[in-house]
Amino acid sequence: MLDDEYQLEYFKENGFVRKKCPACGKNFWTRDTGTKMCGDPPCVSYSFIGAPVFKKEYDISSMREAYLSFFERNGHTRVNRYPVIARWREDIYLTIASIADFQPFVTSGLVPPPANPLTISQPCIRLDDLDAVGRSGRHLTTFEMMAHHAFNSRSNEIYWKDRTVELCDTLLSELGADLNAVTYKESPWAGGGNAGPSVEVLVGGLELATLVFMDLKQVKGGSIEIKGETYEKMENYIVDTGYGLERFVWASRGSPTIYDAVFPGVVKELMDLAGIEHSIENPEYANIFSQNARFAGVMDISGQANLFQLRKKVADSIGTTVEKLQKIMVPVETVYVVADHSRCLAFMLGDGIIPSNVKAGYLARLVLRRTLRMMKDLEIREPLAEIIEMQIRNFPEYPEFRERLDTIREIVTLEEEKYADTIERGTKLVRKTALHFKEKKEKMPLAELIQLYDTHGIPPEITREVAKDSNVEVELPDTFYSLVAKKHSKAEEEEQEALLPDLPQTRKLYYEYPGQREFEAQVIDVIENRIILDSTLFYPEGGGQPSDHGTLLADDYVADVVNVRSINGIIIHETDSDFGFKKGDVVKGKIDWERRMAHMRHHTATHIVNEAAKSVLGKHIWQTGAQKSTDRARLDLTHYKRITDEEFREIELRANKEVMENLPVIIKWMDRVEAEKQYGFTLYQGGVPPGKEIRILRVGNDVEACGGTHVLNTGLIGPIKLLRTERIQDGVERIEFSAGEAAVKRIQERDELLNRSAEALRVSPEQLPDTVNRFFEEWKDQKKENERLKAELAEARVRAMVSDAANVNGLKVISKKIPHADVEELIKVATEFSKNDDAVALLASDLGGVKLVVSAGAHAQKMGVNAGAIVREMSKIVGGGGGGKPGIAQGGGTDAQKIEEALEMGVKMVKEKLNSLSTSFN
RNA sequence: GGGCCUGUAGAUCAGGGGUAGAUCGUUGCGUUCGCAACGCAAAGGCCGCGGGUUCGAAUCCCGCCGGGUCCA
């Protein structure tokens, strides 16, 4: 497939030969005619360990600098890295590759790249192979993808395959690699709807880089087929390279693991904290880890079974047992994990991710908790915050992380506390559950483990450990986590976009004439009740702002516009009638200005509240959602703790101050790249708008990309009244507020509530809290007093009733109607009476229909009197139901006329029971 | 965005349509020179809030509020 794609002039001119790897069957290019294998594991294994491939050792920053400056010298512009949280993307949370920085708008050709060609070193986070981190010797959660990109179009080609390979070759050569040992393995690439030929760059058994020539896009029925999908050539074709910075450093050092090459200082510190001798300096240990990395390099080590295979191989090769090997390796591997994860967290938190249980925040928490677990295994007592701080201090190249240190420390400390709470709660729960299965003498089933993890966050390893303490076995398969994942696999959500005829973009008058309320336009198309105009003042739903309403008027017809949507720039007016308008008509449009104004006020207020929240709560505040309506708006923000009442008031005050300053609301269209450069990704608080030009809105200090409609000056917003906060998710706070008229109404409503409440209690609003408190306390006291009196009354009643009791076969039976008594009272009387073992009480009241209570003393019960059974029968008579225990039962109904009848029935039943007893026993 | 769990005395929790419980803590009494320990007793509950079903709801159903947790 695509064989021609790899016939590069560069290869031919430089004496490369194309070979087929006998192991994997893939083609590759090499200068050395003697080379047989493609150079990629598992066909070959690592040869660079102990034999560095470059002429000198590099660390992270010197290698990064060497790379970037090489490409600068070769005509590339150095571009700053992007955050690890992909704020400019709607489809991914974390930045997973350098090309992700330029998707989707640059790669699609809509927006020009910040420079062309460019070079970058982009920190990336991938959490796919978490289990392999620390164990394989090469896996990292966080790595920097160094890259050079060239964005070509048919009319403007920067460079393509030959130059790309040449640059790579030259770089390797400058670094001192033996070019004869370099192989370029053909490996077509596909992903994310794009594809293209690609070569993997292999040295010493290590894949150092991948050079992708992205020139295909996925098209249904396309002419080129790769892996079952069809593709077509793109107008733009992109050089997408990825050079692993950490791998380059590793290759330059030839150390046993990548971890020792990349963050030796942190590893050393952690080893000390864990009380492990720094074993990698010991040649014997170094040998173990080298062997491990070599074997791990050529096999899949996911899952316990594969891991065991790896251990076995390593153990055999150095002549020891798996058990002994584990003892040596596990603590060191765990240190590697902590080193890697804390570095990952430094990036995540440094770039402003707030741990939470949704979205990117969830991923941060996942890593954070995993780190804590590992630290516990190592018995490192140092707070995690300190370790992350240590990482950050090791990044002189990321000064922005240091600025956030205080916040990061607070977040991590809070998270640590939260996790400790979860574990403590969990441990108790597991103990209880374990006990349950111990009693049943069963293993704890898998379903229970999943339940504990899924709903309570207790890792199965901890469950197993705790259960072991209670001598309960646990069923824990390797595939545990994937089983949990399966439980959550969800149905695909399909959203069909309405098919539209090919129409020109609607001219957006609402941007051009923001204050205007009426307009004239021509009808371009009518689809049932949907009308498309050449231009419109109607704002379509978007950015959390609902659409405008209003009317469209032709010569003879009027239609109410009930909804407005924008699909690919074509604005569709949905009306309440499906006739009247036709193509070519000139219509007058009039928008419901009150509605629009309310939306504009709330929208502009949202920007102000967002900014106020940021100034009060901290820089980590990020909008995750917003919704406006005519009478209120809500704003969701990332924040790691609850907003306090004091902060709430402060935000409200600052927001209103901005209003009172009557700041202008400045709107301008800007080049996307320019805007990003000037304001950063905080622009994209409300989402990422498409297009080369984006609409930038500035209110005070708040600058955002925003497509909404706004008032011209903040003073027009009127008052902003914060209504409440809500924690919609852990790590996400929602603020609800009203602006303008709606705010005044809210304030009035609240006053009204207060006044009415105060009036009800005949006090002034100021006295309300004290008075309500007093009333509540008094109510509680009286409730208690009432209960005490009822008990007393019951005793008195019983004393009075004892003499009325009928003697039925030796039992004292009383049947009585106590008018107006509630159930509680009846129960008290009945229980009091039947403290006497021989007593049976049948009580009735006419409160709210009929209430019945029957009780039987201990002896009476032995004689066969069942209060529950009797009540059931009695209740039927009065048109209800009832039941209870043999000693005490309640019932009732609706027919008060039949109380006497029911009581007679009760007495009769007691008699019958006793008679039948005496006959059967005689 | 989707799912699951959860809210009962100051704390930890049981109960799960029919008189609200246990343990610890608190207070008092006993024992003691005193303390601890022990024994006895008591106080302490809008069973998160609001609706619904029912003769009857802490318990079942719905909504809201709060807390926890897993996944995308």
pLDDT tens profile A286-299: 888 888 888 888 88
- In whole angstroms, B18 C1' to A330 CA is 59
Residue A223 has what pLDDT?
84
Q: How far is CA A27 from CA A44, A149, A184, A626, A915, in A?
A: 15, 25, 9, 53, 101
Helix (H) or strand (E) holding A60: helix A60-73
Over residues A443-453, the pLDDT tens digits come to: 888 888 888 88
Which pairing describes strands A586-591 and A720-729: parallel, antiparallel, or unpaired? Answer: unpaired
> Residues of A from 770 to 789 whose C-beta is within 7 A of strand B: which are they?
776, 780, 784
State the nucleotide closest to A885 in CA–C1' terms: B18
Within 7 Å of a protein beta carbon, the nucleotides of strand B are 1-5, 12-14, 17-19, 44-46, 54-56, 65-72
Using the predicted structure, report yes or no on whether residue A569 has a pLDDT greater than 80. yes
Position A2 confidence tier, pLDDT thresholds 50, 70, 90: low
Over residues A513-536, the pLDDT tens digits come to: 988 999 999 999 888 888 999 999
Asked whether residue A795, judged by its CB, lies under 7 Å from any atom of the DNA or RNA strand B, the reply is no
Position A226 confidence tier, pLDDT thresholds 50, 70, 90: confident
Sign of the Cα torsion A807, A813, A819, A825 reads positive
Asked whether residue A857, judged by its CB, lies under 7 Å from any atom of the DNA or RNA strand B, the reply is no
Residues 6+ apart with CB under 8 A from A846: A817, A819, A820, A896, A899
Sign of the Cα torsion A397, A400, A405, A409 reads negative
Return the closest-CA partner of residue A691 out of A605, A569, A812. A569
Over residues A636-650, the pLDDT tens digits come to: 999 988 888 899 999
Residues 6+ apart with CB under 8 A from A898: A850, A877, A878, A879
Residue nearest to nucleotide B54 (CA to C1'): A881
The DSSP 8-state label assigned to residue A98 in this structure reads G
State the nucleotide closest to A879 in CA–C1' terms: B55
> Residues of A from 696 to 735 whose C-beta is within 7 A of strand B: which are they?
725-730
Return the closest-CA partner of residue A158 out of A102, A197, A116. A116
Which pairing describes strands A507-508 and A633-638: parallel, antiparallel, or unpaired? Answer: unpaired
Using the predicted structure, report yes or no on whether residue A495 has a pLDDT greater than 70. no
- In whole angstroms, B19 C1' to A756 CA is 39
Asked whether residue A827, judged by its CB, lies under 7 Å from any atom of the DNA or RNA strand B, the reply is yes
Cα dihedral A539, A497, A685, A695 in deg (nearest 10): -50
Using the predicted structure, report yes or no on whether residue A556 has a pLDDT greater than 60. yes
Over residues A877-897, the pLDDT tens digits come to: 998 888 888 888 899 888 888
Residue A918 has what pLDDT?
61
- How far apart are alpha carbons A229 and A221 in whole angstroms? 9
- How far apart are alpha carbons A718 and A745 in whole angstroms? 12
A224-233, A658-667, A866-875: least confident range:
A224-233
> Residues of A from 207 to 246 whose C-beta is within 7 A of strand B: which are they?
none
- In whole angstroms, B2 C1' to A455 CA is 14
**Residue pointed to by tokens 């309403």:** A549
- In whole angstroms, B38 C1' to A428 CA is 29
Over residues A110-138, the pLDDT tens digits come to: 888 989 999 999 999 998 888 888 888 89
Q: Tokens for A85?
A: 């949280």
Q: What whole-number percentage of chain A has pLDDT above 90?
A: 41
Higher-pLDDT residue of A148 and A801 is A148
- How far apart are alpha carbons A278 and A282 in whole angstroms? 8
Using the predicted structure, report yes or no on whether residue A629 has a pLDDT greater than 80. yes
Position A491 confidence tier, pLDDT thresholds 50, 70, 90: very low
Rounded to an integer, what is the distance from CA A430 to the centroid of its chain?
Answer: 26
Q: What whole-number percentage of chain A has pLDDT above 70?
A: 97
- One-letter amino acid identity for A32? D
- In whole angstroms, B49 C1' to A828 CA is 29
Residue A922 has what pLDDT?
40
- Which residue intervals of A394-479 are DSSP H helices? 399-403, 405-439, 446-456, 460-469
Asked whether residue A835, judged by its CB, lies under 7 Å from any atom of the DNA or RNA strand B, the reply is no
State the nucleotide closest to A485 in CA–C1' terms: B71
Asked whether residue A527, judged by its CB, lies under 7 Å from any atom of the DNA or RNA strand B, the reply is no
- In whole angstroms, B44 C1' to A835 CA is 27
Sign of the Cα torsion A522, A527, A531, A532 reads negative
Over residues A572-584, the pLDDT tens digits come to: 999 887 777 888 8
Asked whether residue A10, judged by its CB, lies under 7 Å from any atom of the DNA or RNA strand B, the reply is no
Asked whether residue A639, judged by its CB, lies under 7 Å from any atom of the DNA or RNA strand B, the reply is no
Q: Tokens for A97?
A: 């590759």
Work out the average pLDDT over A80-106.
87
Sign of the Cα torsion A576, A579, A580, A585 reads positive
The DSSP 8-state label assigned to residue A353 in this structure reads P
Q: Identify any residues that bridge with A566 across adjacent strands, giving them in sequence order.
A: A571
> Residues of A from 489 to 508 whose C-beta is within 7 A of strand B: which are they?
489-490
State the nucleotide closest to A732 in CA–C1' terms: B1
Using the predicted structure, report yes or no on whether residue A73 has a pLDDT greater than 80. yes
Residue A729 has what pLDDT?
83
- In whole angstroms, B53 C1' to A452 CA is 33
Higher-pLDDT residue of A229 and A208 is A208
Residues 6+ apart with CB under 8 A from A895: A849, A850, A877, A878, A879
State the nucleotide closest to A824 in CA–C1' terms: B19
Residue nearest to nucleotide B66 (CA to C1'): A727
Position A501 confidence tier, pLDDT thresholds 50, 70, 90: low
A251-260, A576-585, A619-628, A845-854: least confident range:
A576-585
Helix (H) or strand (E) holding A802: helix A768-802
**Residue pointed to by tokens 């290698």:** A63
Residue A41 has what pLDDT?
87
Higher-pLDDT residue of A660 and A545 is A660
The ipTM of this complex is 0.86
Q: Decide: A587 and A521 in contact? Cβ < 8 Å.
A: yes
Asked whether residue A894, judged by its CB, lies under 7 Å from any atom of the DNA or RNA strand B, the reply is yes
Over residues A712-730, the pLDDT tens digits come to: 999 999 999 999 888 888 8
Residue A919 has what pLDDT?
54
- Cite the beta strand spans of A115-258 per DSSP E: 118-125, 142-153, 182-186, 189-191, 194-196, 198-203, 206-218, 224-226, 229-244
> Residues of A from 375 to 434 whose C-beta is within 7 A of strand B: which are they?
418-419, 421-422, 425, 428-429, 432
Exposure letters A791-810 (e unless 16+ CB within 10 A, then b):
bebbeebbeebeeebeebee
Q: How far is CA A72 from CA A75, A77, A116, in A?
A: 5, 6, 12
Q: Decide: A873 and A889 in contact? Cβ < 8 Å.
A: no
Asked whether residue A191, judged by its CB, lies under 7 Å from any atom of the DNA or RNA strand B, the reply is no
- In whole angstroms, B44 C1' to A833 CA is 28
- In whole angstroms, B53 C1' to A881 CA is 14
Using the predicted structure, report yes or no on whether residue A810 has a pLDDT greater than 50. yes
**Residue pointed to by tokens 């070979």:** A19
Return the closest-CA partner of residue A209 out of A319, A393, A388, A63. A63
Residue A798 has what pLDDT?
85
Residue A800 has what pLDDT?
84
Position A252 confidence tier, pLDDT thresholds 50, 70, 90: very high
Residue nearest to nucleotide B5 (CA to C1'): A455
Asked whether residue A463, judged by its CB, lies under 7 Å from any atom of the DNA or RNA strand B, the reply is no
- In whole angstroms, B35 C1' to A355 CA is 49
Residues 6+ apart with CB under 8 A from A868: A882, A883, A884, A885, A886, A889
Residue A499 has what pLDDT?
52
Return the closest-CA partner of residue A358 out of A737, A727, A628, A736. A727
Helix (H) or strand (E) holding A108: none
Q: What angle do CA A770, A776, A777 make, to 5 degrees?
A: 90
- In whole angstroms, B66 C1' to A579 CA is 52
Work out the average pLDDT over A856-881.
88
Cα dihedral A520, A524, A528, A531 in deg (nearest 10): -30
Residue A494 has what pLDDT?
36
Work out the average pLDDT over A553-563.
87
- One-letter amino acid identity for A592? D
Residue A78 has what pLDDT?
96
- In whole angstroms, B55 C1' to A757 CA is 35
The CA-to-CA distance between both ends of chain A, in Å, stands at 101
Work out the average pLDDT over A683-688.
82
- In whole angstroms, B59 C1' to A884 CA is 14
Return the closest-CA partner of residue A84 out of A140, A134, A152. A140
Over residues A259-282, the pLDDT tens digits come to: 999 999 999 999 999 998 766 778
Asked whether residue A743, judged by its CB, lies under 7 Å from any atom of the DNA or RNA strand B, the reply is no
State the nucleotide closest to A882 in CA–C1' terms: B55
Q: Decide: A135 and A58 in contact? Cβ < 8 Å.
A: no
Using the predicted structure, report yes or no on whether residue A801 has a pLDDT greater than 80. yes
Residue A921 has what pLDDT?
46
Asked whether residue A883, judged by its CB, lies under 7 Å from any atom of the DNA or RNA strand B, the reply is yes
Using the predicted structure, report yes or no on whether residue A490 has a pLDDT greater than 50. no
Asked whether residue A893, judged by its CB, lies under 7 Å from any atom of the DNA or RNA strand B, the reply is yes
Residue A214 has what pLDDT?
92
- How far apart are alpha carbons A720 and A771 in whole angstroms? 30
> Residues of A from 321 to 380 whose C-beta is within 7 A of strand B: which are they?
357-359, 362, 365-366, 369
Return the closest-CA partner of residue A549 out of A584, A576, A582. A576
Rounded to an integer, what is the distance from CA A380 to the centroid of its chain?
Answer: 29
Q: How far is CA A646 from CA A152, A249, A254, A297, A637, in A?
A: 55, 50, 57, 56, 17
Residue A496 has what pLDDT?
40
Work out the average pLDDT over A169-196.
90
- In whole angstroms, B36 C1' to A424 CA is 30
Using the predicted structure, report yes or no on whether residue A551 has a pLDDT greater than 80. yes
- In whole angstroms, B15 C1' to A472 CA is 26
State the nucleotide closest to A777 in CA–C1' terms: B46
Q: What angle do CA A139, A142, A143 make, to 5 degrees?
A: 85
- How far apart are alpha carbons A521 and A465 in whole angstroms? 73
Q: Decide: A225 and A214 in contact? Cβ < 8 Å.
A: no
Q: How far is CA A488 from CA A93, A453, A482, in A?
A: 19, 13, 10
- One-letter amino acid identity for A714? T
Using the predicted structure, report yes or no on whether residue A485 has a pLDDT greater than 70. no
Residue A917 has what pLDDT?
66
Asked whether residue A454, judged by its CB, lies under 7 Å from any atom of the DNA or RNA strand B, the reply is yes
Q: Tokens for A79?
A: 């571009």
Residue A497 has what pLDDT?
44
> Residues of A from 467 to 486 whose C-beta is within 7 A of strand B: which are they?
481, 484-485
Residue nearest to nucleotide B68 (CA to C1'): A456
Return the closest-CA partner of residue A621 out of A607, A634, A611. A611
Over residues A384-420, the pLDDT tens digits come to: 999 999 999 988 889 999 988 999 999 999 999 888 8
- One-letter amino acid identity for A398? Y
Asked whether residue A287, judged by its CB, lies under 7 Å from any atom of the DNA or RNA strand B, the reply is no
Higher-pLDDT residue of A108 and A696 is A696
Residue nearest to nucleotide B70 (CA to C1'): A454
Return the closest-CA partner of residue A177 out of A251, A119, A241, A68. A251
Q: Tokens for A910?
A: 């007691």
Return the closest-CA partner of residue A687 out of A765, A734, A773, A622. A622
